[in-house]
Amino acid sequence: MPTLGVNIDHIATIRQARRTVEPDPIAGAVLAELGGADGITVHLREDRRHIQERDVRLLRQIVRTHLNLEMAATDEMVAIALDIKPDYVTLVPERREEVTTEGGLDVAGQINRIGEVVDQLQSADIPVSLFIDAESAQIEASRTLQAKFIELHTGRYAEAKNETSRQQELDLLAAGCEQAIKAGLRINAGHGLTYWNVHPVACLPGMEELNIGHTIISRAVLVGMERAVQEMKLAMRGNQ
Which residues are designated catalytic?
43, 70, 191
Residues 19-38 contacting ligand PXP, CB under 6 A: none
Of 220, 151, 147, which Cα lies nearest the Cα of 3?
151
Q: Which stretch binds ligand PXP (CB under 6 A): 51-59, 119-127, 136-144, 190-198?
A: 190-198
Using the rule CB under 6 A, is 100 a contact of ligand PXP?
yes
Least separation in angstroms between residue 92's CB and ligand PXP is: 5
Using the rule CB under 6 A, is 131 a contact of ligand PXP?
yes
Using the rule CB under 6 A, is 149 a contact of ligand PXP?
no
In the list 193, 204, 207, 220, the residue contacting ligand PXP (rule: CB under 6 A) is 193
CB nearer to ligand PXP: pick between 223 and 229: 223
Return phi, psi of residue 210, to 5°.
-105, 130
Sign of the CA dihedral running 34, 35, 37, 42: negative
Strands 88-91 and 128-132: parallel
Q: Which stretch binds ligand PXP (CB under 6 A): 22-30, 79-87, 179-187, 206-214?
A: 206-214
CB nearer to ligand PXP: pick between 42 and 84: 42
Q: Which stretch binds ligand PXP (CB under 6 A): 73-81, 132-140, 170-178, 212-220?
A: 212-220
Using the rule CB under 6 A, is 135 a contact of ligand PXP?
no
In the list 23, 89, 101, 169, the residue contacting ligand PXP (rule: CB under 6 A) is 101
Of 73, 233, 56, which Cα lies nearest the Cα of 145?
73
Using the rule CB under 6 A, is 157 a contact of ligand PXP?
no
The pairs formed by 55-64 with CB atoms below 8 angstroms and a separation of 24 or more are 55/12, 55/25, 55/26, 56/80, 56/84, 56/86, 57/84, 58/26, 59/25, 59/26, 59/29, 60/84, 60/85, 60/86, 62/26, 62/29, 62/30, 63/29, 63/33, 64/33
Using the rule CB under 6 A, is 43 a contact of ligand PXP?
yes
CB nearer to ligand PXP: pick between 145 and 152: 152
The pairs formed by 166-175 with CB atoms below 8 angstroms and a separation of 24 or more are 166/197, 170/200, 170/201, 170/204, 172/134, 173/134, 173/201, 173/204, 174/204, 174/205, 175/134
CB nearer to ligand PXP: pick between 78 and 155: 155
Which residues contribute to the site for ligand PXP (CB under 6 A)?
Answer: 7, 9, 43, 70, 90, 92, 100-101, 131, 151, 190-193, 211-215
